């Protein structure tokens, strides 16, 4: 917990430091589809950044991104081959937002040539690939930051600070669910678990990461069940689950109950992230607490309330790159959270209890 608190304080301070207008960070983007396009448009709002290169194999995505950057006063060069982009010496930092099966290759390649790297979640497809990325980040000249941006979302930041300072007492139970409609059909790789790692890794890693952060350590084991109950062969060839549930066991007999489904009617249940303590319970999304034995909830004081988590995360990345500081969502923290998702995935696939030592390579 002490390490978590120190990391939190450092990351929070980084967000508050003034940006130097003369200390321009030259940024390149690899992958500017749905998520990458959002990151590009968000990065254009970060002070002291110059977008100098954009890479995508889809001509429509590439043109749209080039137009957006040009309209914001940048003059990037277009690429369809990421290694040619990485050959440029004038690029300081790279943002990677490609399908998950490409994360390891592209992150390692960028780190090996000295770039700072912001790579979208999750870290990789397999435990072995996660270790490769983490090792590369540990020996790299640049810093690595994972796109687990909820670690910068104001309500979650305030909630986590309250938890780690003992505000709810001892953490005794964690609960979350992500119940939504299905993923957009125009992105086929979402539905191929060989490319995405399945939904528990590609999508749920955000919530899982928050719970690992709250617990302050990795789980000991997991047991879960899931499958495809509604969207069988929809879209055709689908191999990703449309529902599952997992129970994780952490040290000190702390459990995390998580369920995830893709056929929730609009407005029916949605997304929840809750941490229960010996003295109170807290809703991470709302930054509200209810003390044990009392009625009514209290709202935490939330610095930066209402600000976009993506913008805060990218702002932190640029500041971390300038100062070569370890990000709150570092390669190692992302490895632990990604492995936690993989722990649940392995349990579901193999229909058994899986121990942490089986995936911590």
pLDDT per position in the chain (361 positions), as tens? 444 434 434 444 343 333 334 589 999 999 999 999 999 999 999 999 999 999 999 999 999 999 999 999 999 999 999 999 999 999 999 999 999 999 999 999 999 999 999 999 999 999 999 999 999 999 999 999 999 999 999 999 999 999 999 999 999 999 999 999 999 999 999 999 999 999 999 999 999 999 999 999 999 999 999 999 999 999 999 999 999 999 999 999 999 999 999 999 999 999 999 999 999 999 999 999 999 988 899 999 999 999 999 999 999 999 999 999 999 999 999 999 999 999 999 999 999 999 999 999 9
Of the chain, the end-to-end C-alpha distance in Å amounts to 23
**Structure-block tokens of residue 86:** 């990485």
3-state secondary structure of 342: helix
Chain centroid to CA 56: how far?
21
**Structure-block tokens of residue 102:** 């490409």
Ramachandran region of residue 349, left (φ > 0), alpha (ψ -120 to 50) or beta?
alpha
Pairing mode of beta strands 243-250, 144-147: unpaired
Q: Which domains does the chain have, with CATH numbers?
A: 2-149+309-330 (3.40.50.720), 151-304+338-358 (3.30.360.10)
What's the whole-model pTM score? Answer: 0.92
The predicted-structure confidence for 245-256, as pLDDT tens digits, reads as follows 999 999 999 999
The predicted-structure confidence for 186-245, as pLDDT tens digits, reads as follows 999 999 999 999 999 999 999 999 999 999 999 999 999 999 999 999 999 999 999 999
How many whole angstroms separate alpha carbon 185 and alpha carbon 195? 15
Q: Give the contacts of 350 (CB within 8 A, at least 6 positions apart).
A: none
Structural contact between residues 244 and 200, judged by C-beta atoms closer than 8 angstroms: yes
How many whole angstroms separate alpha carbon 264 and alpha carbon 35? 23
Q: Give the contacts of 67 (CB within 8 A, at least 6 positions apart).
A: none
Q: For all residues of the chain together, what is the average pLDDT?
A: 94
CA distances from 111 to 136, 194, 273 (A): 7, 24, 33
Exposed e or buried b per residue across 136-171, where buried means at least 16 C-beta atoms within 10 angstroms of its C-beta: bbeebebbbbbbbbbbbbbbbbbbbbbbbeebbeeb
Q: In what order do the strands lie in the sheet with 116-120?
A: 77-79, 49-55, 25-30, 93-96, 116-120, 144-147
Residue 238 is classified by DSSP as -
Residue whose token pair is 């999508």: 203
How many whole angstroms separate alpha carbon 76 and alpha carbon 55? 10
**Structure-block tokens of residue 174:** 């964690």
Helix axes 309-323, 2-16, angle to 10 degrees: 90
How many whole angstroms separate alpha carbon 197 and alpha carbon 122? 9
* Phi, psi dihedral angles at 139 (to 5 degrees): -105, 5
Handedness of CA 224, 225, 231, 234 (dihedral sign): positive
How many whole angstroms separate alpha carbon 63 and alpha carbon 69? 10
């Amino acid at each position: 917990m002490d390490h978590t608190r120190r990391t939190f304080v450092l990351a929070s301070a980084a967000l508050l430091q003034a940006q130097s207008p003369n200390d321009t960070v030259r940024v390149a983007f690899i992958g500017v589809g749905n998520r990458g396009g959002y990151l590009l448009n968000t990065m254009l709002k970060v002070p002291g950044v110059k977008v100098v290169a954009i890479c995508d194999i889809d001509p429509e995505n590439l043109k749209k991104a080039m137009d957006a950057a040009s309209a914001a006063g940048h003059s990037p060069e277009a690429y369809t081959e990421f290694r040619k982009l990485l050959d440029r010496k004038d690029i300081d930092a790279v943002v990677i937002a490609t399908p998950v099966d490409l994360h390891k290759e592209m992150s390692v390649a960028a780190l090996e040539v000295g770039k700072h790297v912001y790579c979208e979640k999750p870290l990789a497809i397999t435990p072995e690939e996660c270790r490769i990325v983490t090792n590369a980040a540990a020996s790299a000249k640049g810093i690595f930051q994972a796109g687990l941006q909820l670690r910068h979302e104001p309500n979650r930041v305030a909630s986590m600070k309250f938890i780690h300072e003992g505000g709810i007492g001892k953490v005794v139970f964690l609960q979350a669910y992500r119940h939504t409609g299905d993923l957009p059909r125009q992105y086929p790789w979402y539905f191929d678990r060989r490319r995405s790692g399945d939904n528990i890794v590609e999508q749920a890693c955000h919530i899982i990461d928050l719970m690992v952060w709250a617990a302050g350590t990795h789980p000991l084991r997991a047991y879960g069940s899931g499958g495809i109950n509604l969207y069988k062969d929809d879209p055709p060839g689908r191999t990703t689950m449309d529902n599952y549930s997992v129970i994780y066991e952490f040290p000190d007999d702390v459990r995390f109950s998580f369920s995830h489904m893709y056929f929730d009617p609009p407005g029916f249940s949605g997304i929840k992230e809750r941490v229960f303590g010996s003295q109170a319970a807290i809703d991470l999304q709302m930054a509200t607490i209810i003390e044990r034995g009392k009625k009514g909830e209290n709202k935490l004081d939330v610095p930066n309330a209402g600000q976009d988590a993506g913008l805060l995360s990218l702002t932190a990345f640029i500041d971390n790159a300038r100062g070569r500081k370890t990000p709150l969502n570092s390669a190692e923290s992302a490895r632990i959270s990604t492995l936690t998702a993989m722990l649940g995935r392995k349990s579901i696939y193999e229909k058994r209890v899986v121990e942490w030592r089986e995936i911590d390579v």
